Amino acid sequence: MTTLPAAKPATTPARPFFSSGPCAKPPVFSPEKLSTESLGRSHRAKIGKNRLQYCIDLMREVLGLPDTHRIGIVPGSDTGAFEMAMWTMLGARPVTTMAWESFGEGWVTDVAKQLKLDPTIVRADYGQIPDLSAIDWASDVLFTWNGTTSGVRVPNADFIPADREGLAFADATSAVFAYDIDWSKIDVATFSWQKVLGGEGGHGVLILGPRAVERLETYTPAWPLPKVFRLVSKGKLAEGVFKGETINTPSMLAVEDAIFALEWSKEIGGLKGLQARSDANAAALNKIVEERSWLSHLAADEATRSKTSVCLSVEGADADFIKKFAGLLEKENAAYDIAGYRDAPAGLRIWCGATVNVEDIEALGPWLDWAYAEVKAALAAA
């Protein structure tokens, strides 16, 4: 085990951006590198639609998404995309909602209290995952692929049957570009650029498989839909949404930022390159954890432990301890935004996605030791 240092570490992470959203920009990013030809132009002009379509094409290419699935850019970040999916498709059959962290719990609230669909609710405590083999796939099933606030993920898509009757809805915002996803098992997936791509917030991405399109074209919800949720026109899918004709006005600056991140992704090897960087970061952080008796993973099972939003428990820490701990590191410009999510157990949350450099994760270890020792000493002296 390491010995806690008495002095501050000599080396500070060059890029101390460990926030779990918005996440670190790509390491080669600078605003001057963004294309500006679409800025100040209408998103409905030829140039605007071309750039939106190019962004969609890049996402398809990097994700390896099959032609059977459509991709649309929608308002409201991942939350807006998932809300859009729920409000337009749920109600046709029973619903099972799964929650092992705060965002999954939010979908439970929406389905039960807003849509009033009386779902089957399957829960697990933070750090755990429920029995995935017990899911009734005669129902539509909602789950988070990677729980951003709990550090827990599904191990793969094997728990989703190919002959399912219901639709599989995956909130995949901290998962896409970091894991292999069997798209034949996913009917609806949502994410935002602000996670693994290090893009800007405010825009969501909605991915629809053929069974989801069939649902949209054959089922009309009992409740009214606001304009920004409407995906069907005259009984048919509004195909323009999936060809760069957005429902409302997007930020073309955010679109150009996403394009930059996607082009960088291709330069480093595409999906496999992104995964390799995330895997290396998670391994470096795990080494730090294993070397410290006072630090542990909230998700004990490595098979279901996130490789992006890694949540850690700190021995003897409460919310006040963590606030002081994270505040010290931010003041020293050693780590930004690493306190755990407000609804999660008191602890740390360190983003290990592809836009973080492994050397910065490695440099973080001694700073964690220093901050832990500083807070412990201050509390003992109080």
**Domain regions of the chain by residue span:** 31-266, 270-381
Strands 140-144 and 120-123 turn out to be unpaired
Given a cut of 50, is residue 370 above it in pLDDT? Answer: yes
The tens digit of pLDDT for each residue in 146-201 reads: 999 999 999 999 999 999 999 999 999 999 999 999 999 999 999 999 999 999 99
Torsion, Cα 187 193 194 198, to 10 degrees, reads: 130
- The residues, any chain, with a CB within 8 Å of residue 112's CB and separated by 6 or more, are 97, 118, 119, 121
The tens digit of pLDDT for each residue in 247-264 reads: 999 999 999 999 999 999
Strand partners, 336: 17
* Assigned fold of 270-381: Aspartate Aminotransferase, domain 1 (3.90.1150)
Confidence at 3, pLDDT banded by 50, 70, 90:
very low
**In what side-by-side order are the strands of the sheet with 188-192?**
70-75, 203-208, 188-192, 168-171, 140-144, 95-99, 120-123
Q: Are 338 and 349 in contact (CB under 8 A)?
A: yes
Confidence at 6, pLDDT banded by 50, 70, 90:
low
The tens digit of pLDDT for each residue in 15-37 reads: 999 999 999 999 999 999 999 99
Q: Residue 376 and residue 317: Cα distance in Å, rounded?
A: 9
Mean pLDDT, the chain, rounded, equals: 96
The tens digit of pLDDT for each residue in 211-249 reads: 999 999 999 999 999 999 999 999 999 999 999 999 999
Level-2 CATH architecture, domain 31-266: 3-Layer(aba) Sandwich (3.40)
What is the average per-residue pLDDT within 300-322?
A: 97
Report CA-CA distances (Å) from 366 to 236, 281, 310, 337: 57, 16, 18, 17
Report residue 44 as tokens. Answer: 């409905």
Give the H/E segment covering residue 378.
helix 358-381
Report residue 359 as tokens. Answer: 């050397």
Confidence at 7, pLDDT banded by 50, 70, 90:
confident
